[in-house]
Amino acid sequence: MTFIEFKKLLLDAEISLPKFSSLIKVSDKNLQSYKKKDEVPNAIAAVVRCFAEMNKHGMDYRELIKDLELKAKVKKGAGFARKSKKETQENL
């Protein structure tokens, strides 16, 4: 699926890209990166298509997804350590 087709399905699902990313717990930047590639991964394409169809038939997909209590992935590894505000300010 192209990024343009993806955006059209978001319109059909009556949800913005930021709200979609928040709902499925995927970074907005991650979703925006598909614009450069002009291709959306199959799993994301399937989800947005289902949302559009559910919305078309009057189903509230938002509540169904919220009930799943999805969790955002956290980056792990040496390069992703969180810095305290004090450390960040000291580096400036």
17 within 8 A of 32, measured Cβ to Cβ: yes
62 contact partners, CB below 8 Å, separation of at least 6: 15, 23
Domain ranges for the chain: 3-91
pLDDT in tens, 41-89: 999 999 999 999 999 999 999 999 999 999 998 877 666 656 555 555 5
SS (H, E, C) the chain: CCHHHHHHHHHHCCCCHHHHHHHHCCCHHHHHHHHHHCCCCHHHHHHHHHHHHHHHCCCCHHHHHHHCCCCCCCCCCHHHCCCCHHHHHHHC
Mean pLDDT of 35-43: 93
Please give the model's pTM, rounded to 2 decimal places: 0.76
